[in-house]
Structures are given as C-alpha cells and as structure tokens.
Amino acid sequence: MVNTMTLTWEATREFAVMAEYSTYGSVVVLQVNNPPVNSFSYHVRQGLVDGLEKAQRDPAIRSIVIMGKGRTFPAGADVREFGTASAGMMPDLLSVLAAVDTSPKPVVSAIHGTALGGGFELALASHYRLAVPSARVGLPEVHLGILPGAGGTQRLPRVVGVKTAIQMITTGQHIKAQQALSLGLVDKIVQGDLLKEAVSFARSIEGRPVEDRRISQKTVPDAEKVGEVVDAARKTIIRRARGAIAPMTCVQAIQASVLPFDVGMQRERELMAFLMTSWQAPAQQYAFFSEREVRRWSHPRDKRVNFKTAKPRVIKSVGVVGAGTMGVGITISLLQAGLKVVLLEVNKKQLDRGITTIQKTLSQKSASQRMSLLTTTMDYSALSDVDMVIEAVFESMRLKKEVFKKLDSITKPQAILASNTSGLDIDKIAAVTKRPDKVVGTHFFAPANIMRLLENILGKHTSAETIATAMQLGTTIGKVGVLVGNCPGFVGNRMLGPYVTEAVFLLEEGADPQDVDKAIEEFGFAMGPFRMGDLSGLDIGWRGRIEKGLTTEQGPPPATPPLYRRGNRYCPLADMLCMQGRLGQKTGAGWYRYEPGSRAALPDPVVQQMIREYRQEHGFKKRTISSQEIVERCLYPLINEGFHILDEGIAARSMDIDVTYLFGYGWPRHTGGPMYYAEKVVGLEKILRSLESYQAQYPDHHYLQPSPLLRDMVAKGTSLAALGTDSKL
Ligand SMILES: CC/C=C\C=C\CC(=O)SCCNC(=O)CCNC(=O)[C@H](O)C(C)(C)COP(=O)(O)OP(=O)(O)OC[C@H]1O[C@@H](n2cnc3c(N)ncnc32)[C@H](O)[C@@H]1OP(=O)(O)O
C-alpha cells in the first residue's frame, strides 16, 4: 500500500511540454495537461512518447501511470488539428499507443472525467484501466464523421465482442464507469484520490508479465458469429444513418477485428483515410464546433448584445403560463434542471392533464424531489414573485397580448417576460407592457423536454441583460440556445415557409406526398414535410394562414383568385384537407391515413383522388418528378431564405442558422446544416444557377427568386464565414 503522506515527499517533478512526468518511487505518472479536455495535440503526443521512453530507460522505474490533469482524462484527438500540418506530425497517436501497448513495464490508465475517442483508445492500449465512479468512456468518433482510428475498432471488440462493439461505436454512446466495469473495459473502480490509488495499484502489479494484459494479443470472443451479427446490424444502421457514411464504415472496420491484429489495424487505417477525406467528416466536425460556437453570441442590432459584456440575471424561479403540450414540456425541462416552477393554467382539466404528464415524465428516481419544486395554480397572482415567466399559450396575438398585459401588472418589475411564440411579432407583444426591455422570445421545439434547440428572439427593445438571461437559461436547462432577430417565423419557421410551399407545389405538378417525403428522407431528414405536417397537426399552419387573412375556415377569402394570394402563387391543398377535418395524426387522417393507435403513415387514395381532381380543375398536367428535383425544389428555396435572413441581419452568422436547423428541424448532421451544405457541399454558384433555372420555369413562385446576398457572394466569390462575427471556424 502506498503511504499517502509520503506521496508528495517522494514525488520528483519534471515537465514535458504537455505531459507532466512525476516519479513516486518506482512509479512514473504521466499527466496530460492540455486544457480544457486534454486532447492529443502534437505536443501532448510528443510529451507522452518522451515520457514513456524516459521511463523505459530508467531502471528504477517499474510501472507507469497515465492520467489527465484538471477536469478529464484525454477526451480524444484534437479535432481542431485535423487537416492541419501538426495533425500529420510524428509521433502520431498510433505510435503513442504502440509504445504503450508494447511497453515491457506495465502501463495503467487512470480515468476520470471522460475518456473518449483517442483517449479511450489510449486506455485500451494500456495494460490496466482504473476509473473513478463518475468517469465515462466511449468512442464517439462517428459523430465527427470518422471512426476510432487508433485501434478502437480492433481493441474494443476483443474485449466486449463484435456485437457490443458495433452498438457502442455506431452510436458513439458514453458508458458509465460501472457499466464499463461489467463489460470488462475497466479493471477496477477506485474511490478517493485517483492519483494515490493509481500509484498504489501500479506498485501492486509491478513485476507481473504484461503479455497476457495486451488486448491486441487477444481474440474476439464472438468471432464465429461475426457474419450474422454484421448482417443484422447493417439493416438497422443503414436505415438509422440516413445517408451518413461513417456508421457503416465503422462496422466494416469492426468486422476486420476477427483478423490478426496487424491486418485489422491496416484495414482500420484504410477506412479511416476514406472517411477523413470524405465531405461528410468536415461537415460533422463543423456541426460539433458550431454547437459550441453559438454560445459566443452577439447581434448586429446593438454591440452591447454580446456574450462578452452582457451579464445575465440570476433566475431561481420561473412561471410557465399554459399547461398545453409546450407549457408542460417547458416545465419538465425547468424542473429537471432544478429550477422552481409555478405552472399556471386557467382550464382545470388541462392543468390536471399537465400535472399527470409531468409526473409520468420525470424519472422515477428523482420524481418526488423534482415535483416538490413545482407549484400549480389557476391564479395569476401566484406569479407575483417569480424571476421570469415563459408564456406558452395558444399561438394567437390577441391572446398573447392579453396574457402579457396581466403578467406586466402582476409580476415584480424586474421579472423577465418571455413568449414561447413560434413566429409572432415580439415587439407587438412587448408593446403592451411597460417593460419592453425585459420581453424576449424563447421559442422551444416540441417535445420541449427533449428537443435541444432554444431559439431566443431579440426584440427591438430587448436589453442585452434580458437576452443574456434567456441564453443562460438555455444552458442551465441543457438546450442549445441560438440568438436571432425578430421577423415573422424568426429563423427556423421563416425558412420552413418556402420549403413547405414548394413541397405542395410539387403535388400540383405530379408528385404524391409519399414521393416528396421519400426524396427528403433519403436526403437525410427523419421525416419529409408531409409526414412532419401530419405529426405536428395541419391546423397549426391553417390557423396561421387564417390569422394572416390568406384563407378562411370556409375557403378562400371572397373575391380571391383560387391560386394566388396578395399577388403570390398559393396552393390551397392543405387548407382543403383542414376543411375536411383532416388535421393529421391526431384525427387519424391528414396527408396520409392512420390506423387507430398507429403512427404509420399510409398513402391515402382519398388524398390522391383529391389531388387528381385539383390538378384537373386547375389545368395542371401530371409529370414525373425526379428525387433530385424534389430535393432541390424544397431545399434550395429554404437555403435562399437563409441568405435573406443573413442579409437582413436576423441571424448574425450562417452557423446560427445551421445550428437552428440541426437541433430544431432534423436537418441531417452529416451535411453540416443548410448554409454549410449550400456552400461546402453543393457550392453557392450551383445553388444560384439552380434557383435561376427553376425560377425561369416557375416565374410566379416568388421563393425561387435568388436573394441579392447570394448573387453578390457568387459574383464576388465571398465565403459565409467572412460574413460572420466572432467566429473561430
Ligand atoms: C490516426 C488517427 C488517430 C486517432 C483518431 C482519433 C479520433 C478522435 O479521438 S476524435 C475525438 C473524439 N472525441 C470526441 O469526440 C470528444 C468531443 N468532445 C466532447 O464530447 C465534449 O467536449 C466533452 C469532452 C464531453 C466535454 O464536454 P463539456 O464539458 O460540455 O465541454 P465542451 O464545451 O464540449 O468542450 C470544451 C471545449 O473543448 C473543446 N473540445 C472538446 N473536445 C475537443 C476535441 N476532441 N478537440 C478539440 N477541441 C475539443 C470544445 O470545442 C470546447 O471549446 P470551446 O472553445 O470552449 O468552445
């Protein structure tokens, strides 16, 4: 046993650049010191190799411990280094891990925080692994469009088998220490001080042969079933991946783990090179960094609206108005983050339903503790003391104004008033209060306790402090907050307008809803626009169009040409469905039909007949429309709207738009988001020419008119990154 008192006395410390070398008698401890997550930049790799060589040379050293300094064991390769000169500089990670694996002196990895990617691969190359109870391990490279390319696809299946390795690597899941122990991925969970425990453990195994501890020398336990396992996995993975190439490539690499280690490693290297040079890997890495970069927000409206200078108010209690689907989801998110919530609903039945849903949704373990943070009420005066209120009532300007007037008179003067509107004018809502500087839009996405996006809307008078508070609240409740300006539909729903409109025009021309959905789903969306409409409820859009005066409950407004509204082309097919009571899944019929109790969208001959008659009545000739045209006709106008949004300063950077679509609208992550996809995958010039060509064919589809900004950027050859502010990307 190591004497804790003597540890500090025995330690002699020398510093390599980013891997500190300390000795504790016969044990060397190499501590990676590269904040914030100890990633393997070139200097860390060099430091580790130098430390390992030094330890081998010193006859007094009999064992080696590797650990991370600060918050974590290394969380993987330095992704910012990818594609730069230092990524290719030797020693690479493979040679660091080879030095660990072949070390004649036992190497112990002592894990705290998150041992991820190359970090976990380092641990797997070590002869022993210790972990603190809170540690997590995993190989999340698939989310970056690559595979665990430092032996992870070869070593992991040698411990847990091909089946579990496929599951872990293709989902990129993080495994808790206890589960890692039961899977044989760590040898021991240690309580107390990790350094002392690791040194003590290292001493205890000194002199033992390392050969039988080397995972690379083991064989895969379920090797004889590999064909069967891979076949079964292929089906689910291809469906789930929806066009992302990394998951299946990971499976191919894992499949090679039944071959001799060196042969499998060679296969892993080839497949890694294939992914690294694909267009998807940089897109997914862009998505990773953008998710973090949006935390550094600012807005062109006002230079005080900037994360660097604006300070949030402290929010301890939040009122939520409305116990409908959104209000309940928001309440659950707040409670899960440990905030006090006062949930107000004026309809008793609705309130009771909401409480039941909240109780059911909160996890068993912490339900009573979380529920104790909740007060429910039908009386506005219960909101008098909260720090912030989030209004989540029905999407009607009249109703929202009424609610805000009441809130303004009842809540304390410093309380922030937020509206969960999905597109109404924040300034009009703020105008009914005496505190427009404290009014902000907080647009959650359904189901609000699951969906990560929080679109925060800056009104004309919203103060920097108020926006900072909304952004901070997002972080507190685990959301990805994006700051946007005020305009109809904000960023997300505004861009959705052209997408849905063009999708419906495609029905006029010959496509069925299932043709459009199939093309969009093959592109990578979880759901096409018609299945999505049925899921959300077609009445939401219908009510919006009625409110805007584009239609009425009985049909087109009087004296309106059937296919035009305010001079723009208009397709009333969705209105016609709503007038028949076909509101989507909730009524058993919408664009599709649904068997009772089932969510499976079935093509409906009634809808097909309705569309046929509509085409006949209005003189549309049915034609065959390719998947490529469907994708371009739906997505390019959506992207084009993104350029209008940037041009108007509604979004500060294209990455704010990308993150909005990745986290709120199911845009496929492997394409980076709509703006990234436009620029880096398709090319801005091609998008422009394609819009021009469609516009020539459909001159009255106003969404096909290319944005002036897009034209200008193509003419000048400027890049989206150059438009943004504060971007590190
Ligand atoms: C021959 C080929 C050999 C090897 C190939 C190896 C492949 C890899 O190892 S790829 C990397 C695999 N690892 C990961 O994917 C981990 C990614 N990171 C995370 O999941 C999280 O950051 C976290 C480690 C769990 C920590 O989360 P959290 O505490 O919430 O902090 P964050 O805000 O996410 O991160 C803080 C800060 O660190 C930056 N960062 C995180 N990971 C990396 C990384 N691997 N490389 C570079 N930078 C990283 C992150 O962007 C944040 O930066 P800010 O500037 O503060 O925004």
* Pair of tokens at residue 674: 């709509």
Q: Average pLDDT of 48-72?
A: 97
Higher-confidence position of 140 and 3? 140
Within 653-683, residue ranges assigned H as helices are 654-664, 674-676
What spacing in Å lies between the alpha carbon of 441 and ligand 1's midpoint?
31
State whether the beta carbon of 392 lies less than 6 angstroms from ligand 1. no
- Name residue 157's amino acid: P
State whether the beta carbon of 457 lies less than 6 angstroms from ligand 1. no
CATH 3.90.226.10 fits 4-275, yes or no: yes
Instruction: Provide the edge-to-edge strand list for the sheet that holds 388-391.
Output: 374-377, 340-344, 317-321, 388-391, 416-419, 439-444, 453-458, 480-485
pLDDT of residue 11: 44
610 pLDDT band (50/70/90 cuts)? very high
Q: Give the H/E segment covering residue 319.
A: strand 317-321
Above 90 in pLDDT, residue 377? yes
pLDDT of residue 366: 74
What spacing in Å lies between the alpha carbon of 76 and ligand 1's midpoint?
7
Residues of the chain with pLDDT > 90, as a percent, come to: 91
State whether the beta carbon of 144 lies less than 6 angstroms from ligand 1. yes
Measured from the CA of 78, which atom of ligand 1 is nearest?
A: 46
Whether the Cβ atoms of residue 117 and residue 149 lie closer than 8 Å to each other: no
Above 90 in pLDDT, residue 725? no
- Tell me which CATH code domain 528-615 carries: 1.10.1040.10
Q: Give the H/E segment covering residue 594.
A: none
Measured from the CA of 94, which atom of ligand 1 is nearest?
A: 1
Above 70 in pLDDT, residue 567? yes
Q: State the Cα–Cα distance between residues 446 and 189, nearest whole angstrom.
A: 39
Question: At a CB cut-off of 8 Å and minimum separation 6, what does 349 contact?
Answer: none
- Name residue 99's amino acid: A
Whether the Cβ atoms of residue 339 and residue 317 lie closer than 8 Å to each other: yes
Sign of CA dihedral 178, 181, 185, 187: positive
What spacing in Å lies between the alpha carbon of 576 and ligand 1's midpoint?
50
The residue written with tokens 């008033």 in the block is: 417
The pTM of the full predicted model, rounded to 2 decimals, is 0.94
705 pLDDT band (50/70/90 cuts)? very high
Q: State the Cα–Cα distance between residues 66 and 692, nearest whole angstrom.
A: 59
What spacing in Å lies between the alpha carbon of 78 and ligand 1's midpoint?
7
State whether the beta carbon of 138 lies less than 6 angstroms from ligand 1. no
* Pair of tokens at residue 471: 């952004």
State whether the beta carbon of 514 lies less than 6 angstroms from ligand 1. no
Measured from the CA of 295, which atom of ligand 1 is nearest?
A: 57
State whether the beta carbon of 132 lies less than 6 angstroms from ligand 1. no
**CA 466 centroid distance within chain:** 25
Q: Average pLDDT of 551-575?
A: 94
State whether the beta carbon of 80 lies less than 6 angstroms from ligand 1. yes
* Pair of tokens at residue 723: 């438009």
Q: Average pLDDT of 647-671?
A: 96
Give the closest residue (by CA) to ligand 1 atom 10.
77
Mean pLDDT computed over every residue of the chain: 94
Sign of CA dihedral 575, 576, 579, 581: negative
Q: Verify cis geometry, omega within 30 degrees of 0, for the bond prior to 36.
A: yes
528 pLDDT band (50/70/90 cuts)? very high
Above 90 in pLDDT, residue 369? no
Residues forming the active site? 121, 141
Q: Average pLDDT of 464-483?
A: 98
609 pLDDT band (50/70/90 cuts)? very high
247-305 confidence digits (pLDDT tens):
999 999 999 999 999 999 999 999 999 999 999 999 999 999 999 999 999 998 888 99
Q: State the Cα–Cα distance between residues 289 and 672, nearest whole angstrom.
A: 11
Q: State the Cα–Cα distance between residues 654 and 631, nearest whole angstrom.
A: 21
Q: Average pLDDT of 159-163?
A: 98
Domains 317-488 and 528-615 share a fold: no
Whether the Cβ atoms of residue 405 and residue 389 lie closer than 8 Å to each other: no
What spacing in Å lies between the alpha carbon of 285 and ligand 1's midpoint?
10
Q: Average pLDDT of 616-623?
A: 96
What ranges make up the beta strands (E) of 614-701? none
Whether the Cβ atoms of residue 519 and residue 472 lie closer than 8 Å to each other: no
- The structural domains of the chain, with segments of one domain joined by +, span 4-275, 317-488, 528-615
What spacing in Å lies between the alpha carbon of 117 and ligand 1's midpoint?
9
State whether the beta carbon of 116 lies less than 6 angstroms from ligand 1. yes
CATH class of 317-488: alpha beta
pLDDT of residue 727: 39
Question: At a CB cut-off of 8 Å and minimum separation 6, what does 77 contact?
Answer: 39, 40, 93, 117, 118, 150
Within 343-425, residue ranges assigned H as helices are 348-361, 367-371, 397-410
Q: State the Cα–Cα distance between residues 535 and 556, nearest whole angstrom.
A: 25
| DSSP-derived 3-state class of residue 419 | strand
Question: At a CB cut-off of 8 Å and minimum separation 6, what does 661 contact?
Answer: 492, 495, 667, 673, 674
Most ligand 1 atoms within 8 A of CB, residue of 18, 32, 34, 37 to mutate = 37
pLDDT of residue 365: 65
Q: State the Cα–Cα distance between residues 563 and 445, nearest whole angstrom.
A: 31
Instruction: Choose the weakest-confidence range: 125-129, 181-185, 558-562, 673-677.
Output: 558-562
Q: Verify cis geometry, omega within 30 degrees of 0, for the bond prior to 260.
A: no
Q: Long-range contacts: 230-236, Cβ < 8 Å, 24+? A: 230/162, 230/166, 230/254, 230/255, 233/163, 233/166, 233/170
**Bridge partners for 319 per DSSP:** 342, 389
724 pLDDT band (50/70/90 cuts)? low
pLDDT of residue 682: 98
Above 70 in pLDDT, residue 12? no
State whether the beta carbon of 93 lies less than 6 angstroms from ligand 1. yes
189-214 confidence digits (pLDDT tens):
999 999 999 999 999 999 999 999 99
Above 70 in pLDDT, residue 16? no
pLDDT of residue 367: 78
